Structure 1
Amino acid sequence: MIKRGYHHGNLRQALIEAALRLIETQGPTGFSLSEAAKSAGVTPAAVYRHFEGREDLIAECARQGYAIFADLLEHAWNDGAPSALAAFGATGRAYLAFARRYPGHYMAMFESGISPNRTPELAQISARGDRVMLRAAEALARHIPEGRRPPAAMFSAHIWAMSHGVVELYARAQPGSRSQFTPEDLLESGIGIYLRGLGLVPPDM
């Protein structure tokens, strides 16, 4: 018997949190709106007061995730303090921390098939994290000889891809699988190799 209905304190957010739990356990395409409603303690019909369908619900999970993600990256970057290189490393660690702490959001963002351009609002919030990484790349690129300096957008994309790959292959893998090294060590060493290959000045910059 369903004990809660339209008097639920914040039904919309309750449905989002229910969806996030289901995404974590069943994947972003492995649950129905009825299951989300049941988990939130409301009738399936109540869901449609807030969301047009499952993709709309997942998109809102992704939107909230992108906002958290951007906040974490901005905090880690900290305007490039204490140095551009140290702050850049912190953004990589923040990427890993986000994937571990917010797996439902991460999966809604990157594994659901929901495009960040689905709505203008989603596109705007998803671009915040991109801008943080671009600023970080621009700051580091100033220390790379011009002849070996990739465009900042490419630089950012390379590091983003490396971070994402480490998360997918190692941070979210089953314990004891694939690598004897921690995801943090893999990412930091990978970034270090990449930056040395570009001729970046020593880490005491």
Structure 2
Amino acid sequence: MIEAALAQIQSEGASALNLSKLARQCGVSQPAVYRHFAGKQALSFSLVHWGFERLVQRLQATTQPEQEETLTSIRGLAKAYLEFSLEYTELARMMFSLKERVTDPDLHAISKQAAGPLYQIVQIAQARQTLKGDDVEQAVRLIWASIHGLAVLLMDEQMPYVTQTPGAIEVHLDAIAQLLHDGLFISPDSPQA
């Protein structure tokens, strides 16, 4: 049912999510759908939870900040985030626009897990004394805002020359990672380090 619901929102948008249509697509009765989901909100929460679980897996799989330079970790995290956002555009919109993400304990917990790899990158840099300043929270917010902002611009086709030009997303990813690194961190080979 989750897969069918994902297909439904990817093709028609999150607002078109419909349990009756979902029952027909899955070849089950409407009461069968309601045994799993009390209503549209419960289905939406399940989709968002599923999305954050997949995002967490991708982010954790692409970064190894203990062994990597900070720039490499930021770039890997940004690449995984963008790939997820572009693969699951409507789900990503739903995940980050759902206000209950902050108030529902399960959604809040899973969304906090998604921030874990980024916190780890910044905290390791702080321990290595390569974080400029000492405000981990601010560094995390700035990195996330930059990466998320690029993802939204690409999802909304606000930069078609980037999405339609082979290799252009990679160029922008590299540039953002470099800017974030230069602005927030000290290079290990820098005389300041």
1: CA distance between counterparts of 2:51 and 2:61? Answer: 15
Contact 2:153 2:159 (8 Å CA) reproduced: no
* Unpaired runs of at least 5, structure 2: none
Residue 130 (structure 2) aligns with:
143
Does residue 129 of the first structure (1) align with residue 95 of the second (2)?
Answer: no
Residue 160 (structure 2) aligns with:
177
Residue 120 (structure 1) aligns with:
105
2: CA distance between counterparts of 1:115 and 1:84? Answer: 32
The offset of 1:61, in angstroms, is 0.8
Aligned pair partner of 1:42 in 28, 33, 45: 28
The offset of 1:17, in angstroms, is 1.2
Residue 182 (structure 2) aligns with:
196
Residue 31 (structure 1) aligns with:
17
1: CA distance between counterparts of 2:30 and 2:19? Answer: 7
When normalised by structure 1's length, the TM-score is 0.79
Is the deviation greater in 125-134 or in 77-86? 77-86
Contact 2:101 2:107 (8 Å CA) reproduced: yes
2: CA distance between counterparts of 1:175 and 1:197? Answer: 25
Residue 97 (structure 1) aligns with:
83
- Structure 1 residues 203 and 177, CA gap change in structure 2 (3 angstroms): farther
Residue 154 (structure 1) aligns with:
138
Matched letter for residue 132 of structure 1: P
Match runs of 1:10-89 below 5 Å: 15-89=1-75
Contact 2:65 2:124 (8 Å CA) reproduced: no
* Unpaired runs of at least 5, structure 1: 1-14
Q: Secondary structure at the match of 2:64?
A: helix
The count of aligned residue pairs is 186
The offset of 1:120, in angstroms, is 2.0
| Root-mean-square deviation (Å) | 2.6
Contact 1:66 1:125 (8 Å CA) reproduced: yes
More helix by share: 2
Is the deviation greater in 77-86 or in 92-101? 77-86
1: CA distance between counterparts of 2:8 and 2:108? Answer: 24
Matched letter for residue 160 of structure 2: S
Q: Deviations for 1:106-154, whole angstroms, at most 9, x for unmatched residues? A: 233124x25223432222221111121111112234313xxx4251111
When normalised by structure 2's length, the TM-score is 0.83
- Structure 1 residues 29 and 61, CA gap change in structure 2 (3 angstroms): same
